[in-house]
Structure 1
Amino acid sequence: MKHQAGSGGGYYEPPVAKRRRCIGGIIPEEIVEQILLRLPVKSIVRFRSVCKSWQSMIADPRFTRLHLQFHQSTTSMLLR
């Protein structure tokens, strides 16, 4: 958003924030993890670029193991 600066007719443009906060500051990391665990792999691959904390969480081997376990159990329940 541009603001007119005085009577000179020039415009002042406020500086753009260099770094935006990730949603992790609003929603607890455990909740974000539980949401991400339920998503398909294709979505998770895209969401790695949301912020560094999500990228780190998704890259963790523990997350991969939990994601696989969650989807295996969901699939087996559907087949019953």
Structure 2
Amino acid sequence: MPRIATFNLNGVNGRLPVLLKWLDETEHDIVCLQELKTSDEKFPVDAIRSAGYGAIWHGQKSYNGVAILARGKEPI
């Protein structure tokens, strides 16, 4: 059974080290992120892919934003 979790980041770029550590320690299969608070262009996709997760996201500068991460796969 897949392990699924949610994480309210309150700013993905400011909390990126915390997110990457949490992803490494928990090894969830699917992670739903909320409150990205960054534009699509500034979403840290390279760091997340380096952590072993594919990502799909929709952000808004300084406001809202969500992402779905999948360990070892690209979500569609």
Q: Tell me the TM-score normalised to structure 1 length.
A: 0.30
- Structure of higher CA gyration radius: 1
Q: Which has the higher contact order (CA 8 A, sep 6+)?
A: 2
How high is the TM-score relative to the length of structure 2? Answer: 0.31
